[in-house]
Amino acid sequence: MNALDTLAQLPRLDLRRFTSPVQYLERFSAKIGVEVWCKRDDIGTVGLAGNKVRKLEVELAHAIAQGARHLVAEGSRLSNAVRAVAAAAATTGLRCTLVLCHDEPCEPVGNLLLDGLFGAHLRFVGNASWPELAQHAEAVVTELENAGERVYRLPIGCASERSSLGFALAYAELRAQMAAQGREVGTIVHASSSGGTHSGLVLGNALHGSPSKIRGIVVAGEVYDDVPGQYLAFARGGARLIGAEVELTRSDINLTEDYLGDGYGLPAPGVMEAIDLLATTEGILVDPVYSAKAVAALIDLAVRKELEGPVVFWHTGGYHALFDPHYSRKVWAEIERLSAVRL
Ligand SMILES: Cc1ncc(COP(=O)(O)O)c(C=O)c1O
């Protein structure tokens, strides 16, 4: 069996229950002068929408096979990853504890509200860096194991060698959808932080021997000491798990920090304009923390003529942040200005 067959037969849960469409963005494309398609991974149930679900389908199949009964995940109150873990735990009947880098009480809005609604136990550990948060999560795992729980810990953003295979599968799905439209995949643009999405897409591209360019737009700084090195390790590790002999090097990892702005969850140039343009041309929502930074990059790179088409904006989800008052107030305050400067 070749590696692509092994990948296709990978044990995985069906958490999404449907194949997300790829959609030509006709009006948006006309505005920015490049052919843009959108892979609609933002569509799904409110809990299980977004890119993390693809990772969880593979990771949780493995966790359950290992006998896990309790999931532990870490993140911020904005995290789509921990919200998806909470929803996936609910739907698979696993217990779930989330370790969150905030003080209690926090306003119960956006993803945080959903985390609670899906029945996750929330542990607030106060302001913590990513490495400190990981230490807190490890301590919670030890505590639960000492209490007799069979725990499976998901790393930050649910990124791992195994979960990157969820996105290698996703690449194959997109390629087939674009082929059915008579189109190839020129460039994929997506928001990137913990790396599972990027490493999986890079691996999928390599497994198909395709020349697509995968461009990760960094939305969170310093997630790892060596970000490209860690992404490469995920992609290579994923390849090893399916016995694929593909040559992957650092040059396959294509990340830009130019659109990070002031940092994770903080303002960046072009973000409000990106939210406005996609909403008013296509009725598609992107959020200021993740996906709007990728769209801001896409628009800027298109205007500079630095994108090879057809371009696919991989919509990784995250619209929930728009309903967090911190962001909704900012977006609302900008709407009048944006309507005056619209492309
Ligand atoms: C909406 C959204 N887009 C993109 C990302 C980044 O994906 P990855 O962690 O796989 O790099 C995340 C991760 O938190 C996310 O929630």
pLDDT in tens, 143-189: 999 999 999 999 999 999 999 999 999 999 999 999 999 999 999 99
Evaluate whether 272 touches 338 at the Cβ level (below 8 Å).
yes
What does the pLDDT look like over 127-148, one tens digit per residue? 999 899 999 999 999 999 999 9
Evaluate: CB of 205 within 6 angstroms of ligand 1: no
- CA nearest to 268, candidates 191, 342, 158, 159: 191
Q: Do 78 and 202 fall within a single domain?
A: no
Number of domains in the chain: 2
Task: Give the C-alpha separation, 312 to 47, whole Å.
Answer: 24
* Residue in 114, 160, 219, 291 to alter for ligand 1 test, most ligand atoms within 8 A of Cβ: 219
Q: Do 220 and 113 fall within a single domain?
A: no
Evaluate: CB of 291 within 6 angstroms of ligand 1: yes
Q: Do 9 and 28 fall within a single domain?
A: yes
Q: Do 246 and 198 fall within a single domain?
A: yes
Task: Give the C-alpha separation, 192 to 184, whole Å.
Answer: 23
Query: Is 129 one of the catalytic residues?
Result: no
Q: Do 119 and 231 fall within a single domain?
A: no
Q: Do 326 and 244 fall within a single domain?
A: yes
Indicate the residue among 120, 141, 158 that finishes a domain.
158
Evaluate whether 11 touches 62 at the Cβ level (below 8 Å).
yes
| Closest ligand 1 atom number to CA of residue 190 | 4
Q: Do 288 and 312 fall within a single domain?
A: yes
Indicate the residue among 131, 158, 185 that finishes a domain.
158
Look at residue 343 in the predicted model and tell me its pLDDT. 59
Given CA atoms 34, 35, 39, 40 in this order, what sign does their dihedral have? positive
The CA 5 to ligand 1 mean position distance, Å, reads 27
Domain of 123 in residue numbering reads as 52-158
What's the pTM value of the predicted model, to 2 decimals? 0.97
Look at residue 107 in the predicted model and tell me its pLDDT. 78
Residue 93 CB neighbours (<10 A): 8
The CA 266 to ligand 1 mean position distance, Å, reads 15
Residue 240 CB neighbours (<10 A): 11
Q: Do 148 and 221 fall within a single domain?
A: no
* Residue in 156, 295, 316 to alter for ligand 1 test, most ligand atoms within 8 A of Cβ: 316
CA-CA-CA-CA dihedral for 161, 163, 167, 170, to nearest 10: 140
Evaluate: CB of 200 within 6 angstroms of ligand 1: no
Indicate the residue among 158, 184, 205 that finishes a domain.
158
Q: Do 191 and 141 fall within a single domain?
A: no
Q: Do 228 and 327 fall within a single domain?
A: yes
Q: Do 296 and 222 fall within a single domain?
A: yes
Evaluate: CB of 187 within 6 angstroms of ligand 1: no
Q: Do 46 and 192 fall within a single domain?
A: yes
Task: Give the contacts of 32 (CB within 8 A, at least 6 positions apart).
Answer: 277, 298, 299, 302, 303, 343
172 half-sphere exposure, CB direction, 13 A CA radius: 17
Q: List the structure tokens of 292.
A: 């709007």
Beta bridge partners of 40: 315
Look at residue 272 in the predicted model and tell me its pLDDT. 96
The CA 195 to ligand 1 mean position distance, Å, reads 8
The CA 318 to ligand 1 mean position distance, Å, reads 8
| Closest ligand 1 atom number to CA of residue 194 | 9
Evaluate whether 31 touches 278 at the Cβ level (below 8 Å).
no
Look at residue 208 in the predicted model and tell me its pLDDT. 97
Tell me which residue has its CA closest to atom 7 in ligand 1. 192
Q: Which CATH number belongs to the domain containing residue 242 in this structure? A: 3.40.50.1100
Q: Within the chain, which residues score under 70 in pLDDT? A: 106, 342-343
Find the distance separating the first CA and the last CA of the chain, reported in whole Å: 51
Q: List the structure tokens of 76.
A: 């911020």
Task: Give the C-alpha separation, 116 to 102, whole Å.
Answer: 15
Residue 332 CB neighbours (<10 A): 10
Look at residue 31 in the predicted model and tell me its pLDDT. 96
Evaluate: CB of 80 within 6 angstroms of ligand 1: yes
Task: Give the C-alpha separation, 184 to 189, whole Å.
Answer: 14
Q: List the structure tokens of 4.
A: 């692509």
Task: Give the C-alpha separation, 275 to 241, whole Å.
Answer: 38
| Closest ligand 1 atom number to CA of residue 55 | 10
79, 160, 163, 212: which is the annotated catalytic residue?
Answer: 79
